[in-house]
Amino acid sequence: MPENCIYIARSSTIAARALAGEMMIMNSADSTFFTLNEVATAIFQAADGRTPLREIVRDRICEQFEVDPEQAQADAEQFVTELSGHGVLLVSNQPLAPEAR
Partner 1 sequence: MMATAPKVACVEIGGIPIALSTCDDGFLDLLRCRYDGFLSASRPEFELEFDLTPTVPPSDDDVRVHREGDEWLLERGDFHARWNLRTGRGTVRQNANPYSLDSVLRILHSLIVAGRGGFLLHAASAICDGQAYLFSGISGAGKTTMTRLAPPDITLLTDEISYLRPNPDGYSAFGTPFAGELAKAGENCTAPVAALFFLEQGPENRVDELSPTEAVRRLMRNILFFAEDQVLVEKLLATACDFVARVPIRRLTFYPDARVWDLVRDFDPSFDRKFAPALDRNLDRDFARNLQEVPKRA
In the complex, the residues that contact partner 1 under the rule CB under 8 A are 12-17, 19-22, 24, 26, 28-40, 43, 61, 64-67, 71-72, 75-76, 78-79, 82-83, 86
What is the closest distance, in whole angstroms, from the C-beta atom of residue 52 to partner 1 in the complex?
Answer: 18
What is the closest distance, in whole angstroms, from the C-beta atom of residue 31 to partner 1 in the complex?
Answer: 4
Q: Strands 32-36 and 22-27: what pairing?
A: antiparallel
CA-to-CA dists, residue 21 to 25, 35, 57, 64, angstroms: 13, 10, 18, 14
Distance CA 14, CA 9 (A): 12
Residue number with CB closer to partner 1 (26 or 95): 26
Residue number with CB closer to partner 1 (13 or 93): 13
Residue number with CB closer to partner 1 (5 or 69): 69
Smallest CA-to-CA distance from 6 within 74, 59, 77, 75 is with 77
